[in-house]
Chain A
Amino acid sequence: MKAVLTGNESAAWGARLSRPKIVAAYPITPQTTIVEKIADFIANGEMDATMIHVESEHSAMATCISAEATGVRTYTATSSQGLALMHEMLIWAAGARLPIVMSVVNRAFAPPWSIWSDHMDTVAERDTGWLQFYAENNQETLDSVILAYRIAEDRDVLLPAMVTEEAFILSHTVEPVEIPDQGAVDDYLPPLDLPHRLRPGEPVGYGSLMMPDQYMEIRYRMARAMRRARRVEEKAYEDFWDTFGRLYAPVEEYKMDGADVALVIMGSIASTAKDVVDSLRERGRKVGLLRIRTFRPFPAEEVRKALSSMDAVAVLDRSYTFGHLGALATEVRSALYGSSPPIKNYIVGLGGRDVRVRDLEWIVSDIEKVAKEGLDREITWVNLRGGEE
């Protein structure tokens, strides 16, 4: 069924089609309309789930964790401050190997207060053991919720997953979206079968104190699950293509054939960048685009394959990890270690600042210059009032 949906309605539809039994969430702009939509679905009997109106995001995640531990599928959604408040429980969900799925509407951190988009919130949770998928548009926002459950709940994975969409740019903007058929989703996504679920009468203890002679193996198994998620993800995309006719990949190569320089981007900026690449290509400029959809596990091999023969690579971060480079630039650099073309990091679009066609065109010109003349600097902040020091 085709419909015109906002990003948040798309996320809510993704949740509805995935049939979680428990939804626990707390309001924060711009996530609110996801939960409101789900409340409507439940109120109208279109979704068979219990909504738990928790008093904080910390409790939202804690509630999902305990509910999921009984073997039910759970869902939540948040943004920015709410995600940061959850931090302790994000680590808990991953450590407890509970495949909870959460939509995150990317929003900048305070202070100063901002409700607009950047990736700082989810990038800051990179190391919590969650799978991370960054959507480029509303269709992908919907599809990725279903995909996330499928990948996260696989016995080889059993790690939680977050699906991100950017504040307002996607969350409150309508696009035509294909809503998958419920029957097809049910075939694609079987009910959760959690191997370590709690049951009354079965005395087990999950999460007890563990001594140094055992702890490390538990973390290694999580690392292994993250690695195995790569293969599970591929299969999930293949089956998704067969069932729904839409193709996803951990990295999307756009006009990379014959490119000398490449832009590397996560999220919705990639849409604008595709237009920029198209028009520059028409003018004979050899530029391509690599969109990173899966940030965790990081598709290092695909990135290496796509980028190692470039003359120069421009990595755009809609976030910044204070003290060095943007997180995506750091990952790309480490993926290319040993065979690396010059990589320049462009910090863009923090706090919802528009990343315009002309900003992207400037970045392409700049990286072309790097390709010819070598790296002038490692990192630059784009479209900064007053310029950089």
Chain B
Amino acid sequence: MVKTSLPREEYLISGHFACPGCGAALSMRIALKALGKKAVLSIPACCWAVIPGPFPYRNLEVPLLYTAFEVTGASVSGLSEGFKAMGEDAIVVGWAGDGGTADIGLQSLSAAVERGHDFIYVMYDNEAYMNTGIQRSSATPEYAWTTTTPVGKREFWKKGWKKDMVGIMVAHRIPYAATATPAFPEDMYRKFKKAASIKGPKFIHILSPCPPGWRFPEEKTIEVARKAVLSKVFPLYEVENGRWRVTFKPARFIPVEEYLRMQGRFRYLPEDAVRYVQETVDREWERLLRKEELSKEGPIW
């Protein structure tokens, strides 16, 4: 057993409504350990709007404002300026899914980051609209089966590479952006701590495995997330004021196939597709390392 250095305090208490093995519930638990009592959450329509439980239940030890699907960026702006006006010391956290962030909420998020309010925006990315039953989003990876990209006789799987949200955020010259996953809890914890210490908008992209949506057994969540990192599918890095830093460099990589084949959503994948994914993640990893190297000389936005 590996001991972690995370604090014992729990802000996600027992009795949540998430599916067994939910990566998003685990992520919230770790995030709140880092943020503590001062956190105030804004949560739009997504799985996490259900996870705290129906009225009058509540499994969070921090205040929570439920909002509409596409307004998290606007909501954290209002909360942040509102608390400032009220003289309250709060850490404002927007906590949205990939659909609520990369699709319908992108406009209000972009505007909030451009204006520069003080908040942490978390995209917990389960790579589809899970709350409504596994429909594709722009964060769904290429070749994934979803209920709206079914594998039929004429049409099959999601087309096009996944949208790069951290890249989009960095293009806004955001003070801090990072990727994280619950398979690396200390890395995630540290990134939330750091985000909380920086003024202005912060963006954290969490890869959040979803057993029913990705079609893998519920006890494999951590393994799937770990393999995403080890296969270069989801590198762990952070971008602070344009300085790129890879926060975990595996001593040994695994082939993407190992990651893909664990999940039923990639069940139909032909060999050439696996090859294409491998080539793409290899190239992206090299690009990331180059950005890390180059940004030592000056910010790369």
Q: Which residues of A are in contact with B by a Cβ distance under 8 Å? A: 21-22, 24, 50, 52-56, 58-60, 62-72, 74, 88-89, 92, 197-211, 214
User: A205 touching B64 by the CB < 8 A rule?
Assistant: yes
**The 6 A-B residue pairs with the shortest CB-CB distance in the complex, in nearest-first order:** A66-B78, A70-B82, A207-B66, A55-B111, A62-B71, A67-B78
* Known A-B contacts A50-B81, A62-B74, A62-B108; A69 and B37 likewise in contact (beta carbons under 8 Å): no
User: A62 touching B107 by the CB < 8 A rule?
Assistant: no
Query: When the two chains form the complex, which single residue of A24, A198, A200, A210 contacts B55, counting CB atoms closer than 8 Å?
Result: A210
User: A67 touching B82 by the CB < 8 A rule?
Assistant: yes
Contacts of A208 in B (CB 8 A): 49, 52-55, 57-58, 64, 66
Contacts of A64 in B (CB 8 A): 78
User: A200 touching B79 by the CB < 8 A rule?
Assistant: no
Give Cα A63–Cα B79 distance, bound, in whole angstroms. 8
Give Cα A62–Cα B61 distance, bound, in whole angstroms. 24
A71 nearest in chain B by CB position: B86
Contacts of A69 in B (CB 8 A): 65, 78-79, 82
Pick from B38-46, B146-154, B235-243, B276-284 the stretch touching chain A.
B38-46
A24 nearest in chain B by CB position: B78
Contacts of A53 in B (CB 8 A): 115
Judge if B155 is at the interface, Cβ distance under 8 Å.
Answer: no
Distance between A148 CB and nearest chain B CB, rounded to angstroms: 20
User: A72 touching B82 by the CB < 8 A rule?
Assistant: yes
* Known A-B contacts A66-B67, A209-B49; A203 and B61 likewise in contact (beta carbons under 8 Å): yes
Give Cα A356–Cα B187 distance, bound, in whole angstroms. 72
Contacts A/B (CB < 8 Å), 8 sampled: A66-B79, A70-B85, A70-B88, A197-B86, A200-B90, A205-B55, A206-B65, A208-B66
Query: When the two chains form the complex, which single residue of A62, A74, A204 contacts B67, counting CB atoms closer than 8 Å?
Result: A62
* Known A-B contacts A59-B111, A205-B52; A66 and B66 likewise in contact (beta carbons under 8 Å): no
Contacts of B39 in A (CB 8 A): 200
Number of residue pairs across A and B with beta carbons under 8 Å?
161
User: B88 touching A199 by the CB < 8 A rule?
Assistant: yes
Query: When the two chains form the complex, which single residue of B63, B71, B85, B89 contacts A203, counting CB atoms closer than 8 Å?
Result: B63
Give Cα A65–Cα B42 distance, bound, in whole angstroms. 12
* Known A-B contacts A54-B74, A62-B68, A198-B79; A204 and B63 likewise in contact (beta carbons under 8 Å): yes
Distance between A14 CB and nearest chain B CB, rounded to angstroms: 20
Q: Main secondary structure on chain B at its contact with chain A?
A: mixed
Distance between B137 CB and nearest chain A CB, rounded to angstroms: 20
Give Cα A22–Cα B79 distance, bound, in whole angstroms. 11
Give Cα A188–Cα B76 distance, bound, in whole angstroms. 32
Contacts of B68 in A (CB 8 A): 62, 88-89, 92
Contacts of A209 in B (CB 8 A): 49-50, 53-55
Known: A55-B108, A59-B111, A200-B37. 16 other contacts (CB 8 A): A22-B82, A52-B78, A54-B74, A54-B108, A56-B108, A62-B75, A64-B78, A67-B79, A67-B85, A70-B83, A72-B86, A200-B89, A203-B62, A206-B64, A208-B55, A210-B55
Give Cα A205–Cα B70 distance, bound, in whole angstroms. 19
User: A206 touching B60 by the CB < 8 A rule?
Assistant: no
A50 nearest in chain B by CB position: B81
User: B54 touching A205 by the CB < 8 A rule?
Assistant: no
Distance between B106 CB and nearest chain A CB, rounded to angstroms: 11
User: B54 touching A211 by the CB < 8 A rule?
Assistant: yes
Distance between A95 CB and nearest chain B CB, rounded to angstroms: 10
Distance between B176 CB and nearest chain A CB, rounded to angstroms: 21
Contacts of B84 in A (CB 8 A): 50
User: B40 touching A200 by the CB < 8 A rule?
Assistant: yes
Judge if B73 is at the interface, Cβ distance under 8 Å.
Answer: yes
Give Cα A199–Cα B88 distance, bound, in whole angstroms. 7
Output the residue of A21, A92, A200 with the most chain B CB within 10 A.
A200
Query: When the two chains form the complex, which single residue of B38, B50, B73, B85 contacts A59, counting CB atoms closer than 8 Å?
Result: B73
Distance between B299 CB and nearest chain A CB, rounded to angstroms: 25
B41 nearest in chain A by CB position: A205
User: A52 touching B77 by the CB < 8 A rule?
Assistant: yes
Query: When the two chains form the complex, which single residue of A71, A204, A210 contacts B82, counting CB atoms closer than 8 Å?
Result: A71
Judge if B110 is at the interface, Cβ distance under 8 Å.
Answer: yes
Contacts of A54 in B (CB 8 A): 74, 77, 108, 111
Type the 1/0 row for B256-273, where 1 means its CB is closer than 8 Å to any CB of A.
000000000000000000
Contacts of B74 in A (CB 8 A): 24, 54, 58-60, 62-63, 66
Contacts of B110 in A (CB 8 A): 55
User: A202 touching B63 by the CB < 8 A rule?
Assistant: yes
User: A198 touching B63 by the CB < 8 A rule?
Assistant: yes
Contacts of A24 in B (CB 8 A): 74, 77-78
Distance between B192 CB and nearest chain A CB, rounded to angstroms: 16
Output the residue of A21, A203, A204, A206 with the most chain B CB within 10 A.
A203
A203 nearest in chain B by CB position: B61
